[in-house]
């Protein structure tokens, strides 16, 4: 808990600056798997591309609700990779209006639940300048909240994505390191997309371009960056999420979208096979049925390829730590998880303390006293002010 100790004695920019150890240039002789990897486009384990599994990481962001769960069921459920193992996807869940019974369902389907903050608040500068304590409340406490209300194990929650993909310098990574979170998937790279950057750790200085500053500069061992490798749109403009690409095929052109997705995938598959991120928000699929159909067609195709694996993001980190050749990877036993029951509660009129609203909560636990929020992730009875002494 090195960082939090420093911050308790807030004085503090100076004290923090002294305590932070700036990362040095990466030394491949010192930085070795499984816990250290230099930022690089080299394939882990120095495998040849043809011996490297091509991972595809599909992710969805924000609250999980009774509308978007329909799309998740339609697009994702019952998919298998070509080796028979269940296909994965990762949900970066933000707290407000999330239905935790559906989060429990997604977990029980084998998908990864990850953190996207409690408040997801604006303005974006809040995230750029957030204090250690704010980010501890937004992410470390969100892990406790999610585990409690969705009834899923704390340890299963490993990843972080900052709202608006707004980096927070070292701070978010310091919180992750102190609270046992494994990887971040917020940091966009435009420069390292062809060939693309593989995941790496922050013990040594990153060579990644900083598209949404501030980016980390401290040495933070064993904390992984899963770079968000940009796609390239039809006019060679970079886009971090499929729904932020500008020069796309027409939104009702399913064949055009299928080709667009495939050509971005092929930039990875026919090169160094760095993980191919398919990052999208559900609203884009539900408002554009042709895009959804194209995505389904793309997933059907890759689920048929013997060297392509649609996985949870955390599974990519696991492979990078121990990079076995694709033939061996195909034969491994499938990931397993212990399914977790959801004792359901529907909680009406839960009062908030951060605004004037009351909330409707669907959870797998007893109803909280107040709407869970920053500083009170379990929604306990707020401590009332002691009455003034007479």
Q: Contact residues for Zn ion (CB under 5 A)?
A: 61-62, 163
CB of residue 208 to ligand NAG, shortest distance in Å: 7
In this complex, which beta carbon is closest to Zn ion, that of residue 81 or of residue 186? 186
In this complex, which beta carbon is closest to Zn ion, that of residue 53 or of residue 163? 163
Taking Cα atoms as reference points, which of 213, 192, 218, 189 lies closest to residue 203? 218
Give the residue, chosen from 194, 209, 253, 318, that forms a contact with ligand NAG under the rule CB under 6 A.
209
Cβ-proximal residue to Zn ion, closest one:
61
Give the residue, chosen from 83, 119, 191, 286, that forms a contact with ligand NAG under the rule CB under 6 A.
191
Which pair of structure tokens corresponds to residue 339? 């399914």
CB of residue 348 to ligand NAG, shortest distance in Å: 45
CB of residue 242 to ligand NAG, shortest distance in Å: 19
CB of residue 94 to Zn ion, shortest distance in Å: 6
Binding partner selected for residue 235 from ligand NAG, Zn ion, none, CB under the kind-specific 5 to 8 Å limit: ligand NAG
HEC string of 42-73 equals: CCHHHCCHHHCCEEEEEEEECCCCCCHHHHHH
**Is residue 217 a contact partner of residue 24, using CB atoms and an 8 Å limit?**
no
Binding partner selected for residue 61 from ligand NAG, Zn ion, none, CB under the kind-specific 5 to 8 Å limit: Zn ion
CB of residue 40 to ligand NAG, shortest distance in Å: 13
Identify the sign of the CA torsion 181, 320, 156, 163: positive
- Strands 231-232, 238-239: pairing is antiparallel
What is the footprint of ligand NAG within residues 62-101 (CB under 6 A)? none
Binding partner selected for residue 191 from Zn ion, ligand NAG, none, CB under the kind-specific 5 to 8 Å limit: ligand NAG
What is the footprint of ligand NAG within residues 266-305 (CB under 6 A)? 300-301, 304
Helical H runs in the chain? Answer: 2-8, 13-19, 68-76, 100-108, 125-128, 132-135, 141-150, 171-178, 254-269, 282-287, 289-302, 313-321, 326-331
Taking Cα atoms as reference points, which of 218, 212, 224 lies closest to residue 185? 224
In this complex, which beta carbon is closest to Zn ion, that of residue 163 or of residue 368? 163
Buried b (16+ CB within 10 A) or exposed e, 311-325: bbbbbbbebbeebbe
Q: Which residues in this chain contact ligand NAG in the complex, by CB under 6 A?
A: 191, 209, 235, 300-301, 304
């Amino acid at each position: 808990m090195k960082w939090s100790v420093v911050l308790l004695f807030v004085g503090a920019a100076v004290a923090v600056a002294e305590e932070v150890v700036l990362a040095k240039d990466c030394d491949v002789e010192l930085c070795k798997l499984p816990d250290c990897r230099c930022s690089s486009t080299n394939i882990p384990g120095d495998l040849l591309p043809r011996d490297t599994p091509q991972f595809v990481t599909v992710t969805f962001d924000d609250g999980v609700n009774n509308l978007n769960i329909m799309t998740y069921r339609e697009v994702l459920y019952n998919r298998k990779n070509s080796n028979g193992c269940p296909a994965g996807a990762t949900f970066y869940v933000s707290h407000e209006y999330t239905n935790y019974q559906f989060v429990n369902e997604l977990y029980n389907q084998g998908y990864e639940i990850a953190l996207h903050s409690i408040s997801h608040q604006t303005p974006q500068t809040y995230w750029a300048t957030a204090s250690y304590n704010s980010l501890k409340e937004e992410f470390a406490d969100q892990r406790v909240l999610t585990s409690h209300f969705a009834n899923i194990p704390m340890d299963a929650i490993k990843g972080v994505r900052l709202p608006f993909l707004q980096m927070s310098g070292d701070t978010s990574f310091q919180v992750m390191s102190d609270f046992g979170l494994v990887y971040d998937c917020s940091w966009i790279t435009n420069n390292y997309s062809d060939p693309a950057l593989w995941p790496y750790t922050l013990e040594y200085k990153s060579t990644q371009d900083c598209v949404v500053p501030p980016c980390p500069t401290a040495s933070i061992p064993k904390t992984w960056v899963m770079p968000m490798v940009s796609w390239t749109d039809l006019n060679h403009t970079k886009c971090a999420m499929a729904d932020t690409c500008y020069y796309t095929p027409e939104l009702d052109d399913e064949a055009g979208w299928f080709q667009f997705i495939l050509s971005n995938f092929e930039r990875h598959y026919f090169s160094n096979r760095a993980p191919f991120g398919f990052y999208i928000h559900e609203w884009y699929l539900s408002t554009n049925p042709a895009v959804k159909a194209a995505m389904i067609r793309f997933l059907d195709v890759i689920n048929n390829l013997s060297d392509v694996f649609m996985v949870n993001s955390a599974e990519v980190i696991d492979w990078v730590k121990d990079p076995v050749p694709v033939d061996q990877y195909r034969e491994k036993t499938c990931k397993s998880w212990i399914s977790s029951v959801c004792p359901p509660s529907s909680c009406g009129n839960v009062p908030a303390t951060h605004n004037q609203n009351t909330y409707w909560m669907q959870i797998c636990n007893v109803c909280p006293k107040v709407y869970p929020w920053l500083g009170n992730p379990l929604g306990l009875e707020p401590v009332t002010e002691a009455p003034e002494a007479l």
